[in-house]
Structure 1
Amino acid sequence: MRGHDWINSTLPDELILEIFRRFDSKPTRDACSLVCRRWLSLERLSRTTLRIGASSSPDVFISLLARRFLHITSVHIDERLPVFLPSPSPPSRNWMCMQRRRRERESSSVSSRKPRGSADKRRSEEERLEPSSLSDAGLTALASGFPQLESLSLIWCSNISSQGLISLAEKCISLKSLDLQGCYIGDQGLAAVGKICKQLEELNLRFCEGLTDAGLIDVAAGCGRSLKSLGVAASAKITDLSMEAVGNHCKFLETLSLDSEYIHDRGLLAVAQGCTLLKTLKLQCVNVTDAALIAVGTLCSSLEVLALYSFQQFTDKGMRAVGKGCKSLKDLTLSDCYFVSCKGLEAVAHGCKELTRLEINGCHNIGTLGLEAIGRSCPHLSELALLYCQRISNSALHEIGRGCKSLQVLHLVDCSSIGDDAICRIAEGCPNLKKLHIRRCYEVGDKGIVAVGQHCKSLAELSLQFCDRVGDEALIAVGEGCSLQRLNVSGCHQIGDAGIIAIARGCPKLTHLDVSVLQNMGDMAMEEVGEGCPNLKEIVLSHCHKITDTGLNHLVGNCKALETCHMVYCPRITSSGVATVVSGCPNIRKVLIEKWKVTDRTTRRAGNIISYLCIDL
């Protein structure tokens, strides 16, 4: 019968709950919760995860959430993240008239002199609006409200202490993942976690400056049988003693991330000897030498991910041990490892044939020969990043294009010896390329990018920052051959309207576009982007001197999904254009603009989404 509610009268709560649990999209779940009160309550019961940013009253907020959501098992609190509040709707005409009449009455009966204490009142209101930090009381309320909690992230919650952590451990004994990055907790709280939370598998202690060896030793002893992942960074009082405890107790540890100048060979040797199931190892420890890396290569045969940052005591000896012993290695990052040369990389290439990702950043002794060995020996390579590699030339990428047919991602930054010939070989040999990011490679021009457009039909992301030899011809080929979702051509001053128009016509799925510092692009390109790219979410127009308010009108007319717009140093964009973006884009969340171009009316309408290039001092 028409108008009859068949769903609520027929389906039981359990079935509707199961339907809600199968929704992957949060907006879809939110929309369902607005149907009726029953669906609202059931949708709250189906939620298992909460994500919370900064709040002016976090303790009260946590208590409120605990009453509304009863089956939460995962909570993520990151106090670095701002809360995006909805833009206030413009006041009605009647309301404005009433306010004006009220002000007129007040001005006629009260002296124009400001009352004493008005500045103090305004200051107190501003202080009240500033976000505060979650306290121990809030953490206690969280633990009481969500006793089934299994995963908790407290990112930069600076007011949390050991007392709150003890309360959490006592009430959430099923905790499996705990992230305390940037929290100034003490040893007593961490000891309580080790003593009570026997199921803990993941622990992140990065930037926990209040900890010492005592706290980490206690948690290693208490959770040694369950702990699988550990992260430590910038903790001056955590030394080799802690790592020895980890090696002695945490036999099933699979992931270890260390960033400390207080860890030496002794600590890492203990980990290598005790944690032989290690799969991921990320190190930034300047006092660790080849002896420790040789132990890792010899003892940790299951290693799959190895990242070495800023090492000046690692040489090819350590890399040879990794190549010889870690046959399962799939992901290798070498950053600022000055004494690793082509021989070390060749040893990895010959021994680690399952390698799928390689990043070389600022390793000045690694050149063409080392990368050629990767191309010949690692056919499964799918991602390659070369940053500040001045000694790697075109022939290295010739071998990559010839031997690594599965390559999907290529990053090139400041590689002055790599040019069009290399990009052509990559395009011809790697047709499955999906992401190509090139920055400040001044030998790359139209010829290489045209080849990419002709051969790499799956390309979804293209970035050509400050490649000043790339022009319209390259983008025309890409627009004809690829369906991009992201494009960044910032600083490519030879690109004008023709290139961007080709992209707009050929890439209807485009969501992110950065055309900053394009002096030859104007309103014609903006009109085509508006008509051809309805899914555009982010656009960067900074330093585009030819774009005017007219171009913005065309852009905003069809790009209703736009969320972010940067347009600083655009001299022909006025306050009218800013108002057009704010009023014409219902989903807009951030507008970056000079302060003097924002009128009072625009500030009242959308002040919370406007970011200024310069702030008055």
Structure 2
Amino acid sequence: MLALLYAIISERILFLSLEYLTYELSFSLFRLCYCRCSPLIDNRSLISMDDLPDEVVWDILGRIKKTVDKNSVSLTCKRVHKLDNEQRKSIRVGCGLDPANEALATLCNRFRNLEKVEISYSGWMSRLGKQLDDQGLCILSSSCPYLKDLNLSYCTFITDAGLSRLASCSHLSALKLNFTPRISGCGILSLVVGCKNLRLLHLIRCLNVSSMEWLEYLGKLETIEDLCIKNCRVIGEGDLIKLGPSWLKLKRLQFEVDANYRYMKVYDRLAVDQWQKQWIPCDNMLELNLVNSIISPGRGLACVLGKCKNLEKIHLDMCVGVRDCDIIRMARKSSNLRSISLRVPSDFSLPLLMNNPIRLTDESLKAVAETCSHLESVRLSFSDGEFPSFSSFTLHGILSLIQRCPIKELALDHVYSFNDVGMEALCSAEYLRILELTRCQEITDEGLQLVAQFPKLCILKLSKCLGVTDDGLRPLVGSHKLELLAVDDCPQISERGVHGAAKLVTFKQDLSWMY
């Protein structure tokens, strides 16, 4: 009987969204469904919510995703309110907490089974009241025994003392800190010592994290699977050697150096020797995301690229010193690669960082094309600047990827070598669904008109392309080929020219970038 009830409720929810029904009417529907499928209840009568099994109410609440909707439903009767309190696993709070500590204590006492808590003070001003402080973290540690996932953003009043109180949260497995300037390496060390099940750690703009004992201790635990370090000024590529045995467990690494401090990074000679002597297995690495990193022969992260045999996604953004041999070695090892994104520094920026600037060439792209038969997403970009590179990736290298791999998404930015001949080649790209062209100035109307012949293309995005006009989009008007057409800041394309060229069209024109 209960299985039949679930089937009826699921069917009703598919056709009558809670978003468009009053909750009183929705629950009347649920009660009616229950009556009809229960042979023990007179179908002419209507039972109350108190008669529904807990499993049914939980199923109803589980289908409501918006917090405001859940709050509204919980007010319909005391029983639903009680069951919602027991079921609620996550909350997201911020500037509305006032007074902060007292309000958080009330929420924790109401929702006793919280597993995920996000506290964000983005946009906070002093007139909004005092922020959550160390006492607030003490409340979390004592009132949320099942806490697994904690996200703190712009919590500027929290110090190491407060973070150390979280060490008693034995179930904590994920911690994200975004701009918590009073936190230092000591606070993070005290936390990782206490939380031995930590699998995810994200540190973003934590400016005072200097000591690296926490990184070494984390490496010895061998539990970390997802590590993100972005714009933490003192943490450099060389420090990652301290992860030691945890490199074997790591599935996702995101490392970004603050661009304003990149030139100040120097390698410790001892750290270089450690990288060269220690064999670092990265068998479980699935995603590698590096921004503004220095990757030099035999140093730091260059040792990692060729040891990720299960890598599925790689993103290298303004990484200085990457060589063809690094990408070739990575491609030969990572045959399961599905996404590659390369943003290459311009020719004129490289000498500032290295005496012998090294560029990636078509050899890298050919190696990827030959060995990565599952590649679906390709993003190639050259850094913004007055002198973009003309001699790195050529049309021949790009076409080798298109011809050999099942590319579904192709994004090119500042790639001057891609022209109408390249657009013609895309007519045979049978898997291509998404095409993004940014500052590809060699493409003309003749090449753009070929889009109508692309077999499966459904999304086209054009940005800052000077050589295309309304004429290039004319074959698409009324064709119903594209699901989405987005045109941004293309000076020769008008709003009238994009009308009717796709089911959904977005148009923006701000030409300040030209001046």
Q: Report the TM-score range of the alignment, normalised by the length of the smaller protein.
A: 0.7 to 0.9
Residue 271 and residue 423 in structure 1: after superposition, are their counterparts in 2 closer, same or farther (change >3 A)? Answer: closer
CA distance in 2, matches of 1:599, 1:243: 49
Residue 143 and residue 581 in structure 1: after superposition, are their counterparts in 2 closer, same or farther (change >3 A)? Answer: farther
CA distance in 2, matches of 1:348, 1:321: 10
Report percent identity of matched pairs: 22
Offset at 1:196?
A: 4.7
**Residues 397-408 of structure 1: matches in 2 within 5 Å?**
402-408=280-286
**Residues 267-416 of structure 1: matches in 2 within 5 Å?**
267-284=136-153, 285-297=155-167, 299-350=168-219, 352-368=221-237, 370-388=239-257, 390=262, 391=265, 395=272, 402-415=280-293
CA distance in 1, matches of 2:507, 2:285: 40
> Which of 373, 380, 405 matches 1:489?
380
Offset at 1:357?
A: 0.4
Q: Which blocks of at least 5 consecutive residues in structure 2 are unaligned?
A: 34-56, 122-129, 347-358, 384-388
The one-letter amino acid paired with 1:435 is: K
- Say yes or no: does 1:477 pair with 2:367: yes
Residue 324 and residue 592 in structure 1: after superposition, are their counterparts in 2 closer, same or farther (change >3 A)? Answer: same
> Which of 113, 131, 142 matches 1:252?
113
CA distance in 2, matches of 1:576, 1:610: 17
CA distance in 2, matches of 1:513, 1:356: 29
2:411 is aligned to 514
1:94 is aligned to none
CA distance in 2, matches of 1:254, 1:599: 48
CA distance in 2, matches of 1:265, 1:606: 55
**Residues 95-494 of structure 1: matches in 2 within 5 Å?**
174-176=60-62, 180=66, 192=75, 195-198=78-81, 223=85, 225-237=86-98, 239-260=100-121, 262-284=131-153, 285-297=155-167, 299-350=168-219, 352-368=221-237, 370-388=239-257, 390=262, 391=265, 395=272, 402-415=280-293, 417-419=294-296, 421=298, 424-468=302-346, 469-483=359-373, 484-491=375-382, 493=389, 494=392
Offset at 1:411?
A: 0.5
- Say yes or no: does 1:564 pair with 2:494: no
The one-letter amino acid paired with 2:339 is: E
CA distance in 1, matches of 2:336, 2:160: 42
The one-letter amino acid paired with 2:295 is: I
Offset at 1:545?
A: 1.8
The one-letter amino acid paired with 1:293 is: L
SS of residue paired to 2:295 = coil
> Which of 470, 473, 477 matches 1:575?
470
Offset at 1:607?
A: 7.0
Residue 352 and residue 189 in structure 1: after superposition, are their counterparts in 2 closer, same or farther (change >3 A)? Answer: same
TM-score between both structures, scaled by the size of structure 1: 0.63
Residue 347 and residue 478 in structure 1: after superposition, are their counterparts in 2 closer, same or farther (change >3 A)? Answer: closer
Highest Rg: 1 or 2?
A: 1
TM-score between both structures, scaled by the size of structure 2: 0.75
Offset at 1:597?
A: 2.9
The one-letter amino acid paired with 2:381 is: S
CA distance in 2, matches of 1:326, 1:289: 18
2:52 is aligned to none
Tell whether the 8 Å contact from 1:73 to 1:148 is kept in structure 2 after alignment.
no
Q: Which blocks of at least 5 consecutive residues in structure 1 are unaligned?
A: 1-16, 22-44, 49-68, 78-133, 150-171, 202-222
The one-letter amino acid paired with 2:119 is: L
SS of residue paired to 1:252 = coil
- Of 397-406 and 456-465, deviating more is 397-406
Tell whether the 8 Å contact from 1:247 to 1:272 is kept in structure 2 after alignment.
no
SS of residue paired to 2:12 = coil
Tell whether the 8 Å contact from 2:476 to 2:501 is kept in structure 1 after alignment.
no
Residue 399 and residue 360 in structure 1: after superposition, are their counterparts in 2 closer, same or farther (change >3 A)? Answer: farther
Tell whether the 8 Å contact from 2:315 to 2:341 is kept in structure 1 after alignment.
yes
Tell whether the 8 Å contact from 2:227 to 2:253 is kept in structure 1 after alignment.
yes
Offset at 1:551?
A: 2.6
RMSD: 3.8
2:47 is aligned to none
- Residue correspondences, number: 445
CA distance in 2, matches of 1:333, 1:241: 27
CA distance in 2, matches of 1:257, 1:271: 11
Instruction: Give deviations 1:492-518, integer Å, cap 9, x for gaps.
Output: 7432211111111111x2111111211
The one-letter amino acid paired with 1:227 is: R
SS of residue paired to 1:175 = helix
